[in-house]
Structure 1
Amino acid sequence: MSLALTSSATARRPSFDRLLMFWGPVIVLAVLVFRNDARMAYAQSANGAAVEAADLAENAGTGTRERQLLFLALGATGGMLLWRDQRTNRRPIYWPIMLLLGLLFAYGCCSVVWSDSPFLTFKRMIVLGCLALGAIGIGKVWSTRDFCLALIGWTLLFVLISVAAELANGVFLRGGDYRFSGVFHPNKQVFFCAFLFLCSSCMYQSERKRIYLAIAIFALLAVILTKSRTGTAACLLAGAWLWWSYLPRNWIVNLAVAGSILFSIGLIGLGASGEEVSLLSAARMGREDELSDPTKLTGRLPIWTETLSAFINQPLLGFGYGAFWSPERIRYFESQNGWAFSHAHSIYIESAVNWGLLGVFIMLMIVVATVRRAKYLLRTHERMAGRWMIALLILAAIAGLAESAFVADGFEAIVLCASIGLVACHGPVPPARGMR
């Protein structure tokens, strides 16, 4: 009788661990993203980018009680994952990445001393700590396959809900200025679709199941429909590297030839029709609003000018993490430019004003260490993690020219931190140079 009970308890334990270690973080993060970023107003307009934003100055430095609780839940989930994993499974850790992450967080905490708004920096460091703890916990505990399946599940759910919301409101694929947004801003939706495309591609390359290839094609079409130029270009280049590193060279040559032939046929067809097509109109991607003019960088030039002119005054240490976008500074920039913005629309400029040149140098060291680790994993059984990490860094580096998503407290930053934890805590650790 006791043997039967013991075997029954043992059989139930894996399912309980799965519920606690996998489905718990999946649910917490899905709820966090929807409550933090989703708005039905985006799905009620054919161009979600035209929806008026909330009062940014009033909301700066404040957060709803629900948002605070969700970030605390994410941090607690990450702490629980790390504690439980430490008791049951001691994975080798690539310490250079972890030590640099710890150094960056300690530097951010120290920025309270010289911050323009110490209390604002203190609050945002708590949010950053919860985000990093949750993300690193996920990256360390989950396998690469679990991480990719969860990311596909999250992003596919977001995209399908967005399509359903637009269909319900009768705006899906409607109008010449249509941009796919669903319940998120198009410039955020493009990253969900890009994650879905890149992660499905990685899963297809690893398991050769056609369902992943079909999801990747669907996601790529959704990326293009967002008409987010920077995000689309970044996704295409990251995808090009991902498939270049996977396909045999003769396949790449054949695809390049076929693409050139199709492009030539398209140009001949346009010439025969007598229609004029300019590079400027092609760069607009079908967008007709005034800010879509690519020569004006979609209104980002005034943001960069104002932000960099302020950064020159405190270049070494910056203004303290999260303290630059205070309510007073947001209102001032709005009075100068006629519209409000609460981030620099560039991860490079945003990082500079938040962390200063010293903090940016630490971040650069983290990127270098992560790339080295990912390149090493490409030669091991964890090659899928290496491919995914490099593709994600390409996406973030290119999209970061005109977007701040990967250094904000959102889903994109969580995915990036979790991916860094994934490559730092999976696969063999290379021996020291003197022991080879």
Structure 2
Amino acid sequence: MNTSVAAAPAPAPARGMVDRLAEARLRVKTYHASREPARENSVRGVLWILFIATEFYLFSNPLVYIYPFEASLQKATSLAVIMLVVQLPKLRLPPVPWTLLVFIAYAADSAFWSIQPDYTWKTLWLYGSIAIIALMVAANTTPKVLAQGCTLGGIVILLSSWYAVETGLVGAMAPAGLDGYLAGVGGNRNILSYCMVIAIGFAAAYFPTRWWARVVWFLSVATLLVGVFLAQSVSGFLASGFILAGATMLGFMERRSRRTRRRTTVVISGVLAVLTLLFLAVPSLLGGFLGRDSTTLSGRVPLWEATIQQSEPELWFGYGFGAVWQHPWLPAPDNTLAQKIYAGAGILLSHGHNSFIDVLPQLGILGVLFLVAMHLAALWPAIGIRMNEVNTREGLVASRVILLSMTGLLIFGLTEPLTSTPLGWFVLVALLEVGRPYLRSQGRHAHPRSRFW
């Protein structure tokens, strides 16, 4: 009698580390794709709008009401933890942009050669906390929700500034004899102005379709422009004009062919690059353009020259993140380098009055290059989206949010350390995440030449 014995199945091959990592990555992508961002026409979206507006206000450093900024940051982080716990069932986890990771890693390394290591670590905690909140906000909301939240935040700053004046709080009114009618909750009219400009950049990125929403939009933009007027900052007037003109131009371009969009984008990018390099090379031109003291830009040019000169011994690596300037949001203790800069400039200022020169003595040329890379990384998806033949509506809004907000950051960053401020840093990090999903999904659910007006 013949008996047959079934062959034992071959053992499954052991999975390697690469296979396990690939499986884990697939699970994260599946988890992320299964959760939709909050939209403006939902209860969840309204909750995120209110949260963003509150964080926008707290990151503006409202010293008139909350002093010091450490208290504002504590309130902002506590509120963020509560918000993330409430949203946990639908929470989206964003990847960390490589440019942000490189900048933070290099800033952390600077603690090893910092002239004040303790303050370098404190500064890292401050900027790291804000960066996490910014990434979570941008990843869990649509561009329109983000824009509406920041617009509301700007209005809250202006209304609270007006209330501070009405109640007689010290610092809210502009000092007598100086330009401006209102100093705002930050105690400085330039701070009030750039808060309004950033909010205008977000507001101009979308135009509602319903009549009542358009009325609210017009009133919001008008309110923010009133804030710019009350601050009486020339940079604010200039940035607001560029943002509104840019919004009109983008709406016009979206109804043109791909070839026209590409040519216009290349020409405008070239003109802006040339103007930026020209103003950096010859600062007196910037003063004449702004209608201010064309020789010193109210003391800024001597400060820039002294900063570059005194940074030369450590020009490539700097003297440590957060270890030099007496920033109002985290002032470093008095140090020899700052004293040399002030002596060379002949004026005492608490920061570098330029987004990139402010970073130079802290992180050197390498740090400045990493910061430039963050700006370019934020702009790249916006330009890429507009180069496509077809685009999603949300993709176009994301592109406008990036381009118009970045316009405000760059223009004000010429005379103020905007991306070093808590609010400017929050916006810059958020913009790194805003356009990324739409650059990768332009082929899905796209329609030709989406209307803006």
TM-score by length of 2: 0.66
Quickly say closer, same or farther: Cα 1:112–1:190, change in 2 above 3 A. Answer: same
Shift of 1:166: 4.1
Match of 2:382 in 1: 374
Aligned 8 A contact 1:318 1:356 in 2 = yes
Change (3 A) 1:85 1:107: farther
Helix, strand or coil for the counterpart of 2:319? Answer: coil
Deviation at 1:17, TM superposition (A): 6.0
Task: Return the alpha-carbon distance in structure 2 between the equivalents of residues 84 and 296 of structure 1.
Answer: 51
After TM superposition, give the deviation of residue 167 of structure 1 in Å: 5.5
How many Å separate the matches in 2 of 1:333 and 1:172?
28
1:361 aligns with 2:369: yes
In the aligned structure 2, how far is the partner of 1:86 from the partner of 1:428? Answer: 25
Work out whether 1:39 is the aligned partner of 2:41: no
Kept in 2: contact 1:29–1:74 (CA 8 A): no
Which residue is equivalent to 1:145?
Answer: 144
Name the structure 2 match of 1:343: 351
Tell me: CA distance 1:320–1:176, structure 2 relative to 1, closer, same or farther (3 Å). Answer: closer
> Which residue is equivalent to 1:411?
423
Q: Which has the larger displacement, 70-79 or 228-237? A: 70-79
Change (3 A) 1:341 1:371: same
Which residue is 1:133 aligned to? 132
Give the corresponding residue for 1:119: 118
| Larger deviation, residues 82-91 vs 132-141 | 82-91
Corresponding position of 1:219: 224
Q: Report the CA distance between 1:82 and its aligned residue.
A: 6.4
Give 1:159 deviation, angstroms.
Answer: 1.1
Q: State the alpha-carbon separation in 1 of the partners of residues 318 and 76 from structure 2.
A: 28
CA contact (8 A) 2:320 2:363 kept: yes
RMSD of aligned residue pairs (Cα, Å)? 3.9
More helix, by proportion:
1
Q: Which residue of the partner structure matches residue 233 of structure 2?
A: 228
Q: 1:355-376, CA deviations, whole angstroms, 9 ceiling, x for partnerless residues?
A: 2222222222222222121223
The equivalent residue for 1:30 is 57
5+ long unaligned stretches in structure 2: 1-40, 256-284, 326-331, 444-453
1:30 is matched by which residue type in structure 2?
A: Y
Report the AA paired with residue 242 of structure 1: A
* Percentage identity across paired residues of the two chains: 19
| Alignment partners' CA distance in 1, 2:173 and 2:158 | 15
Which structure's CA Rg is the greater one?
2
Q: Is the 2:205–2:400 Cα contact (8 Å) retained in structure 1? A: yes
| Pairs within 5 Å for 1:127-276 | 127-166=126-165, 177-184=179-186, 185-204=188-207, 209-247=214-252
Higher RCO (CA 8 Å, separation ≥ 6 residues)? 1
CA contact (8 A) 1:330 1:340 kept: no
Per the TM alignment, residue 331 of structure 1 is displaced from its structure 2 partner at its CA by 4.3
What secondary structure, in the 3-state scheme, does the structure 1 residue paired with 2:305 have? helix
**Are residues 1:385 and 2:393 paired?**
no
For residue 157 of structure 1, give the secondary structure of its aligned residue in structure 2.
Answer: helix
Q: Deviations over 1:322-367 (max 9, x none)?
A: 1222412444544555542221101121122222222222222222
Distance in 2 between residues matched to 1:249 and 1:427, nearest whole Å: 16
Asked whether the equivalents of residues 375 and 428 of structure 2 are also in contact (C-alpha less than 8 Å), the reply is no
1:238/1:391 contact within 8 Å kept: yes
Do the aligned partners of residues 90 and 132 (structure 1) sit closer, same or farther apart at CA in structure 2, a change above 3 Å counting? closer
Take 2:222 and 2:297, find their aligned partners in 1: how far apart are those partners? 29
Pick closer, same or farther for the CA change 1:116–1:280 going to 2, 3 Å.
closer
The 1-side partners of 2:52 and 2:358 are apart by 29
- Contact 1:81–1:137 under 8 Å retained in 2: no
CA displacement 1:402-435 (0-9 Å, x = unmatched)? 1102222x2232223223333335674469xxxx
Query: How far is 1:28 from its partner?
Result: 5.1
Residue-by-residue CA offset, 1:37-59 (whole Å, 9 max, x unaligned): 3338xxxxxxxxxxxxxxxxxxx
Letter in 1 for 2:353: H
Q: State how far apart, in whole Å, the 2-side matches of 1:249 and 1:422 are.
A: 19
Match of 1:296 in 2: 296
* Cα distance in 2, alignment partners of residues 15 and 237 from structure 1: 32
Alpha-carbon deviation of 1:127? 0.7
Relative to structure 1, is the Cα distance of residues 360 and 248 closer, same or farther in structure 2, using a 3 angstrom cutoff? closer
In structure 2, which of residues 400, 412, 433 is the aligned counterpart of residue 421 of structure 1?
Answer: 433
Cross-structure match for 1:56 = none
The residue that corresponds to 1:104 in the other structure is: 103
Q: Is the 8 A contact 1:346 1:400 kept in 2?
A: yes
The verdict on how the C-alpha distance between 1:206 and 1:330 changes in structure 2, with shifts beyond 3 A counting, is farther
CA offset digits 1:377-405 (Å, max 9, x no partner): 44322211210111111221122111102
Query: 2:235, 2:290 within 8 Å by CA — same for their partners in 1?
Result: no
How many residue pairs were aligned? 355
Q: Relative to structure 2, which stretch is displaced further, 229-238 or 79-88?
A: 79-88
Specify whether residues 359 and 18 from structure 1 end up closer, same or farther in structure 2 by C-alpha distance, changes over 3 A only.
same
Matching residue's letter, 2:392 = T
1:396 paired residue number:
409
Cα gap change, 1:75 to 1:298, in 2 (>3 Å): same
Q: Which stretches in structure 1 are left out of the alignment for 5+ residues?
A: 1-13, 41-62, 251-278, 286-291, 432-436
Q: For residue 315 of structure 2, give the secondary structure of its aligned residue in structure 1.
A: coil
SS at match of 1:350: coil
Asked whether the 8 Å contact 1:79–1:137 carries over to 2, the reply is no
Shift of residue 98 of structure 1? Answer: 1.1
CA distance change for structure 1 residues 418 and 363 in 2, over 3 Å: closer, same or farther? Answer: same
Q: For the structure 1 residues 429 and 365, does the alpha-carbon distance in structure 2 shift closer, same or farther, using more than 3 Å as the test?
A: farther
